Amino acid sequence: MSDLGNIPALKVVDNQVKTMNNNSADVLITTIGDGVTFPPCTGQQLVTGLVQGTMYFVRVTAFNQIGYGTAAYSKPTAQKPMVVPGVATGVTLQVVDGNSMRVFINPPQDDGGDTVTKYMVEWDILSNFSSGTNSSSLGKHEVTNLAGGAPFIYTIPSLATGVDYYVRVSCYNQMGYGLSTPSSPPYDHPRRLPTAPTKVKLGVTSSSKLTVAFDLPTDVGGDPISHFKVEWDRISNFQSRHSVPHKGEVEVDATKHRFYTISPEVGLSESITYYVRVSAKNLVGYGATQWPEPAFEQPTLQVPGVISTALVAPQTGVAGNLSVAWNYPRVPAHGLFCGGGGPQNLTLPDLCPTGMGSGQQADGGTPILSYKVEWDTSKWFNSTDPLPEHGFYVVTNLAGGEPFRYTIPNLTPTKKYFVRIFAYNARGDSAACAKSGLLCDGPVLSAVPSG
């Protein structure tokens, strides 16, 4: 420093130097280092190379050609280098119930050189937290009670059941809030146990089988139903000491089934009373149980179910004849599928379990002996027309298997005829099927035998 101020470099501007003999002399400037421009001696001064979070005392003295004066201390007398905190660690999100979730927070590895005094918890249904401050989907809360030590806990209240919320947390020291960090998992949704299943019904399928129907609860608890549990017992409190087959339970995939046929390997006992109940499961667990209507049944032989996939058409090349074809029953007489009916397979019933009267036919537990094919010019089957305009035929030769067939002969080629089919076993006749379709739910069975 000099009276000229900062001089980063020197050069000869005017040479007036004389030797002792009054001769001219040369001035040579040798640079031994780069020139430096010093900062102002007044105002703010940046002190670098300090240790974050360590307290430093600061004082300043002034200097002139006489020397240094008395030091003046800073206000405050000491300070420490610090920045905003780093991100919180171990931020965990946990579901509490159907309307709340809990956040667990651990301190950051880097507190920025100052004590972290609070945490900000934020939640939103959008991952970028852009719902807006006026949106009920966006919320935040400062966690200031840190006396109990880590992990610090906050329960987010009043959330919507089943709605995914993203959660993040940021840390605060006297320099402000640092960067936020997402929770683990980054989002979740409030959920609770589901209520009881609905539309629970019980039907007798055979002398060793019962079939139960069920549907989704009115309140799934905010989470998809993954399974149903079907329980049966010979005692109404389901606390008997019986073992399978008289007592048992099975878990059914809710994506595939809305029906289940209770059919233990050795079968239920005929004419023994069995109580049944069903519950639904989501990620939280199984909810309340629901008894069917009726609450109990006794396995006994039944009449066959309605036949399936019937077709009627004119016999090709033969005027006055109708060709009829059909398959054995797929659904028992009570109308409940033996299995299936879930959202992946809404209208297709599973075959009944093995051990029916014949294979997996919905025959009531005793083999179908015959099928009756009936026809009439009236769709109500109440005409007074004589044979062959109105009549029936019993098909007893079933050795060829399905599809079963019969040709109705000698009809009037210009008239329209309606057809219906019954199945018969040792217990009696099934309900009539007068429509096409796998479930006898298609167009009416009718045709004109025009050939």
Domain span at residue 285?
Answer: 198-297
Task: Give the Å distances, CA to CA, from 130 to 20, 123, 137, 159, 181.
Answer: 86, 10, 10, 17, 16
Domain boundary among 188, 223, 255: 188
**74 vs 78: CA distance, rounded Å:** 7
Instruction: For residues 122 and 217, state if they share a domain.
Output: no
Residues 314 and 288 occupy one common structural domain: no
Residue 50 lies in a domain: no
Is 387 part of any domain? yes
In a domain, 68, yes or no: no
The domain boundary residue, chosen from 297, 321, 339: 297
> Do residues 289 and 149 both lie within one domain?
no
70 part of a folded domain:
no
| 76 within a domain of the structure (yes/no) | no
Note the pLDDT of residue 22.
73
181 lies in the same domain as 254: no
* Structural domain contains residue 67: no
Q: Are residues 213 and 184 in the same domain?
A: no
* Sheet of strand 322-327, all strands in order from the earlier edge strand to the far edge: 308-314, 322-327, 404-408
Residue 233 is predicted with a pLDDT of 98
Q: What is the DSSP letter of 293?
A: B
pLDDT score, position 63: 85
Q: Which residue has the tokens 């002139």?
A: 64
Q: Are residues 229 and 155 in the same domain?
A: no
Same domain, residue pair 165 and 219: no
Show pLDDT as tens, one digit a residue, over the chain (451 residues).
444 555 666 677 767 777 777 777 777 777 776 666 666 777 788 889 899 989 999 998 988 889 889 988 988 888 899 999 999 999 999 999 999 999 999 999 999 999 999 999 999 999 999 987 777 778 999 999 999 999 999 999 999 999 999 999 999 999 999 999 999 999 999 999 999 999 999 999 999 999 999 999 999 999 999 999 999 999 999 999 999 999 999 999 999 999 999 999 889 999 999 999 999 999 999 999 999 999 999 999 999 999 999 999 999 999 999 999 999 999 999 999 999 999 987 778 999 999 999 999 999 999 999 999 999 999 999 999 888 999 999 999 999 999 999 999 999 999 999 999 999 999 999 999 999 999 999 999 999 999 8
Q: What pLDDT is stored for residue 1 in this prediction?
A: 42
- Domain CATH code at residue 101: 2.60.40.10
If one counts the domains in the chain, the total is 3
Whole-number pLDDT of residue 238: 97
Distance CA 157, CA 98 (A): 10
Q: Are 423 and 356 in contact (CB under 8 A)?
A: no
Q: Please say which residue of 243, 278, 297 terminates a domain.
A: 297
Looking at the fold, whether 214 and 285 belong to one and the same domain comes out as yes
User: For residue 163, which of 95, 215, 225 has the smallest C-alpha distance?
Assistant: 95
* Whether 440 and 309 share a structural domain: yes
**pLDDT at site 5:** 52
Distance CA 27, CA 17 (A): 8
Same domain (yes/no): 181, 121: yes
Query: Are residues 419 and 379 both part of a single domain?
Result: yes
In a shared domain, residues 434 and 386: yes
Beta strand pairing status for 56-60 and 370-376? unpaired
- Answer yes or no: is 129 within a domain: yes
In a domain, 54, yes or no: no
